[in-house]
Structure 1
Amino acid sequence: MEAGGIAAHGLLADGRSAALVDRSGSVNWWCPERFDAPSVFCRLLDITGGHWWIRPAEHFEVRRSYLPDTLVLRTVFRTEHGEVSLTDGLLLEAGARGHDIGRRSPGVLVRVVEGLSGTVPMVLSYSPRFEYGRRSAYLVWRDGKLLATSGPTTLAMTAPMPLTVQGAEATARFTVGAGQRDAFVLAYRPTFHETAPHPVDPTDPLGDTVEGWRSWAAHHDYQGHYPELVRRNALVLQGLTYAPSGAVVAAATTSLPEEIGGDRNYDYRYAWLRDFSLTLRALWVAACPTEANRLFGWVASAVGRIDGQPVPIMFGVEGERDLTERRIETLRGYADSTPVWVGNEAWRQRQLDVPGEVLDAALRLREYLDPMHPEVRDLLRSLADQAVTSWREPDAGMWEARDAARHYLSSKVFCWVALDRAVRFGDRLGDAEDLARWSAARDEARETILREGWNPQVGAYTGAFGSDQLDASVLVMPIVGFLPATDERMRATIRLVEQRLSRGGLVRRWAGDPAAFTLCSFWLVQCLALAGERDRAAAMFENVTGVANDLGLLAEQVDPHTGEQLGNFPQAFSHIGLIIAAWELTTAPSGAVPTGGGS
């Protein structure tokens, strides 16, 4: 990998998949069929994993940005002999606008090279590797296209100049003069399905895609602090959305490590119900909640009937349940951090916070769920019913511990949230008997949490009942309205988390966590704002957002000492946290006491 690491990359998206392009113009990740499909480029995880780069053949400096209100990336290379731009995008379906973008995207990656000044020598290297680097293909010219086929996958490249083909790699050297434009088009298609080639405008191949993204952004009118940040982060969340179903993936990648050389490398290209619910809250803040009914319909369909069984916590992007892990032995991993995984065993876990996450998002978006679809109503009722008994049980917690189950405090709090939001829905969700049952369980859970969650020796609410370990997940307590941030014990907890787990506002989940967890950092910002410490909260917010890369993208974690971003990228959690924290800084007056996360 080139210098700059994980954060060197920009995100391209088309509503079905994502590609990552680094500062040197190399596409190092693309799974064209859908987010969690096998890759055709995965140099991100191994130098031999496949790539497609276009860059100057001499020393260059780089500046880059997204075209306004799009996920179309423009990189400008400055060399001794002139400047050249490289504009990259995954095509949206022609003519798709607003909330229809991405639902039928064609799987086409377009790269446009344009001379800005002087004459710049360029070099191209194209080397696809299929199925996570396991399979290469001979490249052959046919009907004016460079074809690469391996099993079920075919890539067809159209190039404006001859490419030299040698085995599984194609290369070219060419020059670009001022005013010259050359477009390269790489189209994916299933090998054994006849599909018509996607039409591409030769004069402006990315123009319609730019208009598609801008039409989506035009639907959203956030009124609050940091409007440009919120707008950009909402666009990233849309880029992580699988448009045909509405599922939101946790991240675009698999197996990027939480610690260099470590083995906590997981596949995040799936839809967690927790992430889905938080995303809906963030999109509500960003003034783009209009697809709530469709998205809740997808959740109801994916979850199905619970019938007393634990709530499934995650799915494939089209609702697949079985996400069994398998190790990819052919890849060495990012910076030799093994193993590389496809699949995620967390799908088997019991995580009791999920019903509360879903019901909280539903209550916040209740006006958009009117009339409520019967399947959605049945799902929400079932989640509340399950919380009546499950709040007493241990679980794996929101950090998905893979050892013993525990009575995690944040899980108990979200069980309380599930019951509280169900009661507040009133007769739209249940009859008088339901409401009485939910209310009684809510009050019992609250009393137990307050009694068992507080550790007087530590002087704080700790991560689990009977534990003496601080855990940043307890910061959700004021955020969801369980306790005001001004409560004496809550303030003491916030203070200890900041003192012991935070460095410059970058918050680790627990002592010994190798890096700060970006979402927890935004939770601390929210807690300070809710406690009336608006100025400190704002300063911390700006410090945390400052760790984003030059395109505003955030990974899951960040090394608080070096600022290096770690973990899967870009991470929905991190961008969600930024949006919601910006809104808290907008709305929480000095000394405010929250009225509850669902209001």
Structure 2
Amino acid sequence: MGNAAIADYGLLADGRSAALVDRRGSIDWWCPERFDAPSVFCRLLDSNGGHWSIQPTDDFETRREYLSDSLVLRTVFTTAYGEASVTDGLVLEPGSRGHLIGRRSPGVLVRVVEGGSGTVAMAMSYYPRLEYGSRTAYLVWRDGTLVATAGPTTLTMTTPVPLTCSDVEATARFTVGPGERKVFVLAHRPTYHEGSPAGLDARDPLGDTVEGWRSWANLHSYPGCYPELVRQNALVLQGLTYQPSGAVVAAVTTSLPERIGGDCNYDYRYAWLRDFSLTLRALWVAACPDEANRLFGWVASAVGQVGDEPVPIMFGVEGERDLTERRIETLRGYADSLPVRVGNEAWRQRQLDVLGEVLDAAWQLRDYLDPMPPEVRDLLRSLADQAATSWRDPDAGMWESRDADRHYLSSKVLCWAALDRAILFGDRLGDAADLARWAAARDEARKTILRDGWNAEVGAYTGAFGSDKLDASVLVMPIVGILPATDERMRATIALIEERLSDGGLLRRWDTDPATFTLCSFWLVRCLVLAGERDRAAAMFERIAGTANDLGLFAEQFDPATGAHLGNFPQAFSHIGLVIAAWDLTAAPDAVLNEGES
């Protein structure tokens, strides 16, 4: 089997880890211990990387959907001889409900095969390859189960059908007819830990998990435009959350390329402060802000004392700081796109925009931070202080440039936003001297941004001071309120970005970007709303939303020429963009703008 298209994958999640299953019924990615742990299946990145497939032996067509308000996926296979389904889910801790789901998930993957009409011949292939395909697990029958062990990891499979086993792979052929059900259970545990996962209901092994997801979804009520899309995307963001800590991963994969055959292949299974902050805003929109104190508490704990050092921009899901990057030489990469990376050297970068992202999210959720925990107050004060002293400095920018640091406009704009929001908090954050110091820095930053960010020859605000390159990140200017979208220069910038960076109605980050960037496309929607062009914004919103796959999932980028999804998947940024843009289409333009003004 060659690589499935990125858009062919569906997401399974349990609040600690994630798996990807393609429309052919093959689970090609699973890191069972946690999002950023080594994989046990990674055919996503190499045809020999390990998989677990269940599919008809005859030619088939598929349709699939999530069971309502859950991340349990049902795929229906139709052949010339009948119809059968496979329902896949990562199991939540039995009985967990509401905001407690996923905090103690057992690391169990369940696949339920059910017969519909006729008789369908099925084939199963189970080939675990642990630690990113570098270790072959030997299969042994033990106490009626199939055990695969390699070093620290053990997988235990219970199966209702006879298996044919080699040392390293198990296969099976079986049939299902109307009403027949066969349940396969694969459990992960550390090799040297005793114990086994809690028992499952044999009659409905995924029923409790579905109810757990629904209990979370039912806590929230979104009153705005596109309610089904917002509800679905909020659920995906919940699936990208490491529930024990509250960290939100940027994506569940590593090394899916921005360009097929290119080398911009990075590990996104970590928690960026930027993504975290934007996710909080999206969950506020989707009426899910209940855990703001807990999540901001995680950020305060992970960041620690800031001092004069650059603010850390990303962490492991439990707050780990050192994410040193290495290459996995045993994998050929998605569609031969090398290198395959684990870890991400961006952890060493200075990215000043995160200061504003965190403070802006805190301001939006201010009612849920009252009273404000002392550690959160200390964090926000420190971020404001750093914005006041660092806004003049060059940095790597929000696109994480790996060459020279520059004076990126969006970074300086978000430093302005950090100071602006700190001032809005008033004495909840600082005393009179603090507020005066922040106000002076804010006013100087704004004056400099509006003067040095404008390129008269281009006729627009450009990506960096002194640059003639357009960059879609400058669309954050009206979004955070440093200028209204109706300002003459801002309106010219929006129009030029749309003219030169759009492709099929979607936006690239810059003119050499290999494909359109979904978050930037939603930013343009928001800017059009702020400029009073609601109808055009709504049409653009629907065009972008229509690029999701059949399950409503987005990668980082989309190629309008081929319809291909590119980059890591599913991408938190993209889902965040949809939720917030839907709210902006709901709210009055003045209300959206005034929310961030001092």
Q: TM-score, normalised by structure 2?
A: 0.99
Residues 321 and 261 of structure 1: is their aligned pair in 2 closer, same or farther, counting only changes over 3 Å? same
The aligned amino acid for 1:103 is R
Q: How many angstroms apart in 2 are the aligned matches of 1:100 and 1:468? A: 50
Tell me by how many angstroms 1:560 deviates: 2.3
Q: How many angstroms apart in 2 are the aligned matches of 1:414 and 1:246? A: 24
Given the alignment of the two structures, is residue 140 of structure 1 paired with residue 159 of structure 2, yes or no? no
8 A Cα contact 2:3 2:47, kept in partner: no
Tell me by how many angstroms 1:597 deviates: 3.4
Q: How many angstroms apart in 1 are the aligned matches of 2:58 and 2:45? A: 26
8 A Cα contact 1:364 1:598, kept in partner: no
- 1:418 corresponds in structure 2 to 418
* Greater Cα offset, 341-350 or 187-196: 187-196
- 2:116 corresponds in structure 1 to 116
Q: How many angstroms apart in 2 are the aligned matches of 1:553 and 1:137? A: 32
Equivalent pairs: percent with the same residue? 79
Residues 40 and 3 of structure 1: is their aligned pair in 2 closer, same or farther, counting only changes over 3 Å? closer
- 1:234 corresponds in structure 2 to 234
Q: How many angstroms apart in 2 are the aligned matches of 1:178 and 1:416? A: 63
- 2:447 corresponds in structure 1 to 447
The aligned amino acid for 2:402 is R
Given the alignment of the two structures, is residue 36 of structure 1 paired with residue 17 of structure 2, yes or no? no
Given the alignment of the two structures, is residue 58 of structure 1 paired with residue 58 of structure 2, yes or no? yes
- The total of aligned residue pairs comes to 598
- Classify the secondary structure of the residue corresponding to 1:354: helix
Given the alignment of the two structures, is residue 125 of structure 1 paired with residue 125 of structure 2, yes or no? yes
The aligned amino acid for 2:68 is P
8 A Cα contact 1:482 1:596, kept in partner: no
Q: How many angstroms apart in 1 are the aligned matches of 2:88 and 2:597? A: 40
Tell me by how many angstroms 1:162 deviates: 1.2
Residues 576 and 598 of structure 1: is their aligned pair in 2 closer, same or farther, counting only changes over 3 Å? farther
- 1:330 corresponds in structure 2 to 330
Q: How many angstroms apart in 2 are the aligned matches of 1:546 and 1:195? A: 46
Please list, as runs of the form range in 1=range in 2, the aligned pairs for 1:242-391 lying within 5 A after superposition: 242-391=242-391
Give the root-mean-square deviation of aligned CA atoms: 1.0
Q: How many angstroms apart in 2 are the aligned matches of 1:509 and 1:563? A: 18
- 1:18 corresponds in structure 2 to 18
8 A Cα contact 1:486 1:593, kept in partner: no
Tell me by how many angstroms 1:167 deviates: 1.8
- Classify the secondary structure of the residue corresponding to 1:208: helix
Please list, as runs of the form range in 1=range in 2, the aligned pairs for 1:212-223 lying within 5 A after superposition: 212-223=212-223
8 A Cα contact 2:124 2:172, kept in partner: yes
The aligned amino acid for 1:252 is V
Please list, as runs of the form range in 1=range in 2, the aligned pairs for 1:481-560 lying within 5 A after superposition: 481-560=481-560
- 2:166 corresponds in structure 1 to 166
The aligned amino acid for 1:235 is L
- 1:581 corresponds in structure 2 to 581
1:242-278 Cα offsets, whole Å, 9 max, x none, are: 0000000000000000000000000000000000000
1:386-411 Cα offsets, whole Å, 9 max, x none, are: 11110000000000000000000000
- 1:84 corresponds in structure 2 to 84
Q: How many angstroms apart in 1 are the aligned matches of 2:321 and 2:4? A: 36
1:3-56 Cα offsets, whole Å, 9 max, x none, are: 750010000000000000000000000000000000000000000000000000
Q: How many angstroms apart in 2 are the aligned matches of 1:68 and 1:3? A: 29
- 1:597 corresponds in structure 2 to 596
Tell me by how many angstroms 1:593 deviates: 7.4
Q: How many angstroms apart in 2 are the aligned matches of 1:197 and 1:49? A: 26
Residues 576 and 230 of structure 1: is their aligned pair in 2 closer, same or farther, counting only changes over 3 Å? same
8 A Cα contact 2:113 2:181, kept in partner: yes
- 1:562 corresponds in structure 2 to 562
Unaligned runs of 5+ in 1: none
Q: How many angstroms apart in 2 are the aligned matches of 1:596 and 1:117? A: 55
1:204-242 Cα offsets, whole Å, 9 max, x none, are: 100000000000000110000000000000000000000
- Classify the secondary structure of the residue corresponding to 1:131: helix
8 A Cα contact 1:484 1:593, kept in partner: no
- Classify the secondary structure of the residue corresponding to 2:122: strand
8 A Cα contact 1:504 1:540, kept in partner: no
- Classify the secondary structure of the residue corresponding to 1:440: helix
8 A Cα contact 1:361 1:598, kept in partner: no
8 A Cα contact 2:4 2:44, kept in partner: no
Q: How many angstroms apart in 2 are the aligned matches of 1:221 and 1:21? A: 29
Tell me by how many angstroms 1:504 deviates: 2.7
8 A Cα contact 2:359 2:380, kept in partner: yes
1:466-497 Cα offsets, whole Å, 9 max, x none, are: 00000000000011111111111000000000
Q: How many angstroms apart in 2 are the aligned matches of 1:5 and 1:468? A: 36
8 A Cα contact 1:72 1:88, kept in partner: yes
Q: How many angstroms apart in 2 are the aligned matches of 1:100 and 1:274? A: 24
Q: How many angstroms apart in 1 are the aligned matches of 2:53 and 2:45? A: 16
8 A Cα contact 1:531 1:593, kept in partner: no
- Classify the secondary structure of the residue corresponding to 1:378: helix
- 2:100 corresponds in structure 1 to 100
Q: How many angstroms apart in 1 are the aligned matches of 2:122 and 2:205? A: 21
8 A Cα contact 1:505 1:524, kept in partner: no
Q: How many angstroms apart in 2 are the aligned matches of 1:205 and 1:597? A: 47
The aligned amino acid for 1:478 is P
8 A Cα contact 1:532 1:592, kept in partner: no
- Classify the secondary structure of the residue corresponding to 2:12: strand
Q: How many angstroms apart in 1 are the aligned matches of 2:213 and 2:261? A: 38
1:266-300 Cα offsets, whole Å, 9 max, x none, are: 00000000000000000000000100000000000
- Classify the secondary structure of the residue corresponding to 1:187: strand
Q: How many angstroms apart in 2 are the aligned matches of 1:186 and 1:550? A: 27
Tell me by how many angstroms 1:562 deviates: 1.7
Q: TM-score, normalised by structure 1?
A: 0.99
